[in-house]
């Protein structure tokens, strides 16, 4: 995510401001041309771009704007992704995608909420942004079509791994109900050899359920292996100066983790500084201070959950595979002598520092201090 960006619109430049409240069946459009004009709300069928163009033309006429007047629009990031952004920009609309979690909300216990009210509120906020007011909301950095397509491989693999884990847990739970445990090594029709608490064979219905689960698990393992092979092939074809090719040269960074980092935007998001990078990762302390009361309420988990998951794994692996690096030495001095809680807190801090170091290496080729590269 990035901070609010300004439209750089002159007060004398005729502009049509448009907000989209997106639904599955219908879209609400909030339209206005100036702060003094009451927003005009129209409804079109979801995905009907010709109808959107017709509404924009009618709105320009309604507000006395020329047919060539500039159009600035916005919508909240969500299920529809970025195709609407690309469709609008190809039609000459200056669109921005807004992080819905950053939009200010009325804190009354009960408040009215309808698509119409949301569309009106969003277009009024858009005018504030274009008027130069900072901090109104945060905007999402839109990837190119190629970058968006490239991250589907690592995302599909993550979902398949989750499905496989869920199946294994289901088999463990099923066997626990009969006083048995899931074998560590499972070959062939292993469920026929498992015995319950009394030493008897499992009931036919239980065996059947385990057999079905094992077949689904075998299919998932096959699909995961296929995706991992594709990732290895993509890395092998990548040029040496690309981010993913650099990352896999570091000891402790494998193809899967490097692919997740790069596919989720370590390079294409074009971060300007480490604070923007850390904002997308999360893992920052959240203070709560009011009057004389001051305490921490934990860490921020806003951001990319795939990055958070992979960076914690990489941080633990970094301690093992990069014992001479400056980051590992820093961790050992600060947290190694503490208890298990201190080490868990430290690994989160290490994950943030490590991500910044990997970003600098992937984008600029700056090797983390003391890091060991793999032997070619």
Q: Is residue 108 part of a domain?
A: yes
pLDDT (0 to 100) of residue 295:
76
Last residue of a domain, one of 117, 142, 167: 142
Last residue of a domain, one of 185, 209, 237: 237
Q: 224 to each of 48, 127, 231, 248, 254, how far by Cα in Å? A: 37, 47, 11, 19, 15
Residues 194 and 252 in one domain: no
Kindly state the average pLDDT of the residues 56-80.
94
| Beta partners for residue 22, in sequence order | 27
Q: How many domains does the chain have?
A: 3
Q: Is residue 335 part of a domain?
A: yes
> Tokens 């970058």 correspond to what residue?
147
Kindly state the average pLDDT of the residues 58-75.
94
pLDDT for residue 163 is more than 90: yes
Kindly state the average pLDDT of the residues 320-347.
92
Residues 277 and 197 in one domain: no
pLDDT (0 to 100) of residue 303:
79
The segment with the largest mean pLDDT, out of 128-132, 280-284, 287-291, 357-361, is 357-361
From CA 254, how far away is CA 247, in angstroms rounded?
8
Residues 36 and 132 in one domain: yes
Pairing of strands 70-76, 94-98: parallel
Q: Is residue 375 part of a domain?
A: no
| Beta partners for residue 44, in sequence order | 27
Residues 9 and 80 in one domain: yes
Residues 173 and 264 in one domain: no
pLDDT (0 to 100) of residue 35:
85
How many angstroms separate the first and last alpha carbons of the chain? Answer: 37
Residues 199 and 252 in one domain: no
Q: Longest Cα pair distance anywhere in the chain, in angstroms?
A: 86
pLDDT for residue 7 is more than 70: no
Residue 299, φ and ψ in degrees, nearest 5: -115, 155
From CA 95, how far away is CA 136, in angstroms rounded?
16
pLDDT (0 to 100) of residue 354:
96
Please state the pTM of the whole predicted model.
Answer: 0.83
CA angle 292-293-299, nearest 5°? 145
Model confidence pLDDT, tens digit, residues 185-197: 999 999 999 999 9
The 3-state DSSP class for residue 288 equals strand
Neighbours of 77 (CB within 10 A): 19
Model confidence pLDDT, tens digit, residues 209-224: 999 999 999 999 999 9
Residue span of the structural domain in which 101 resides? 2-142
Residues 156 and 134 in one domain: no
Going by the DSSP 8-state scheme, the letter that residue 193 receives in this structure is: T
Residues 134 and 103 in one domain: yes
Percent of the chain with pLDDT over 90: 75
From CA 90, how far away is CA 108, in angstroms rounded?
40
């Amino acid at each position: 995510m990035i901070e609010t960006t300004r439209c750089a619109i002159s007060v004398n430049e005729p502009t049509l401001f448009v907000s989209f409240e997106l639904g599955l069946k219908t879209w609400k459009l909030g339209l206005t041309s100036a702060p003094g004009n009451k927003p005009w709300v129209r409804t079109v069928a979801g995905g009907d771009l010709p109808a959107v163009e017709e509404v924009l033309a009618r709105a320009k006429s309604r507000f006395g704007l020329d047919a060539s007047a500039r159009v600035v629009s916005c919508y909240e990031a969500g299920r529809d992704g970025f195709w609407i952004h690309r469709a609008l920009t190809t039609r000459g609309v200056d669109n921005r995608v807004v992080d819905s979690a950053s939009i200010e909300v009325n804190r009354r216990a009960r408040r009215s909420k309808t698509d119409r009210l949301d569309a009106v509120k969003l277009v009024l906020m858009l005018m504030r942004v274009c008027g130069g007011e900072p901090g109104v909301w945060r905007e999402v950095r839109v990837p190119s079509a190629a970058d968006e397509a490239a991250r589907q491989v690592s995302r599909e693999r993550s979902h398949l791994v989750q499905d496989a884990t869920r199946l294994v847990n289901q088999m463990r739970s099923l066997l626990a109900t009969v006083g048995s445990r899931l074998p560590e090594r499972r070959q062939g029709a292993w469920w026929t050899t498992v015995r319950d608490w009394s030493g008897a064979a499992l009931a036919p219905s239980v065996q059947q359920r385990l057999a079905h689960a094992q077949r689904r698990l075998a299919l998932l393992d096959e699909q995961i292996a296929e995706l991992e092979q594709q990732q290895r092939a993509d890395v092998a074809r990548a040029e040496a100066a690309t981010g993913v090719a650099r990352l896999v040269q570091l000891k402790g960074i494998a193809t899967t983790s490097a692919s997740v980092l790069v596919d989720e935007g370590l390079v294409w998001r074009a971060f300007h500084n480490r604070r923007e990078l850390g904002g997308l990762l999360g893992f920052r302390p959240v203070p709560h201070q009011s009057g004389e009361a001051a305490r921490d309420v934990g860490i921020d988990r806003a951001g990319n959950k795939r990055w958070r998951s992979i960076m914690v794994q990489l941080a633990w692996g970094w301690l093992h595979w990069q014992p001479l690096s400056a980051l590992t030495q820093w961790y050992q001095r600060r947290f190694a002598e503490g208890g298990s809680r201190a080490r868990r807190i430290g690994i989160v801090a290490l994950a943030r520092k490590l991500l910044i170091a990997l970003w600098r290496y992937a984008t600029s080729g700056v090797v983390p201090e003391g890091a060991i590269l793999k032997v070619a």
